[in-house]
Chains A and B, each alone.
Chain A
Amino acid sequence: EVHLVQSGAEVKKSGESLNISCKVSGYSFTNYWIGWVRQTPGKGLDWMGIIYPANSDAIYSPSFQGQVSISADESISTAYLQWSSLRASDTAIYYCARTFYYDDSAYFDFWGQGTLVTVSS
């Protein structure tokens, strides 16, 4: 059974760095892309980027390019979403999801439970 288990909620201050994780099980980590999706209250879903763990090839949404970093550790089947300097506007729930990426399109078939990130100014 496919599972994506994310790290717990975080409370941070503006300017701080943060790294949240997504550990997968139930399938071969290196055979599928992993994506990250942001959900802000009342504003719906935003795709942030995807990574292919086998070679760490990452593709970012134009809206998030340069704002976050996505990485993966094949040895522990875990993907990461990282910020070097948080802003209050980063307050949101972040989901990781197994991703099918092909023909300049992607969809997400299994999702983590979400990580709430709260950033105070």
Chain B
Amino acid sequence: QSALTQPPSASGSPGQSVTISCTGTSSDVGGYHYVSWYQQHPGKAPKLMIYEVNKRPSGVPDRFSGSKSGNTASLTVSGLQADDEADYYCSSSAGSNNFVVFGGGTKLTVL
């Protein structure tokens, strides 16, 4: 069982927006400003999409945005495109002993 809880699936039509949640506790998501999001296409390595809750690495479209409220972080994908269909994983710090914990992943389907 993953430390962070994500919905197993999410979907949206091209052009729409979809938000994926990542729920933890005050010991991880709620306690740190260090949430990351990764995109993984089938058979490929994960790709960093968001770090430190809402920062985008160079090259990631601004259609991807992150936020956090309390113990829940969110990834919003706006203007959905076919290539956005992938698995998305969140990650957070959980303190000095275990500073990377992942969510179980959400499969995003573009209808």
Give residues of chain B (57-77) contacting chain A, Cβ–Cβ below 8 Å: 57
Using a Cβ–Cβ cut-off of 8 Å, how many residues does chain B contribute to the interface with A? 27
**Contact status B46-A108, CB under 8 Å:** yes
Query: A interface, by DSSP: helix, strand, loop or mixed?
Result: strand
CB contact under 8 A between A113 and B102, given known A104-B93, A104-B96: no
Give residues of chain A (7-24) contacting chain B, Cβ–Cβ below 8 Å: none
**Contact status A105-B32, CB under 8 Å:** yes
A35: which B residues are within 8 A, CB to CB? 100
Interface membership of A120, Cβ < 8 A: no
B99: which A residues are within 8 A, CB to CB? 101, 104-106
A109: which B residues are within 8 A, CB to CB? 48, 51, 57
Q: Closest CB-CB distance, A22 to chain B, in whole Å?
A: 12
A contact residues, range = 20 to 34
A26: which B residues are within 8 A, CB to CB? none
Which residues in B have some Cβ–Cβ distance to A below 8 Å?
2, 32, 34, 36, 38, 45-48, 51-52, 57, 89, 91-93, 95-105
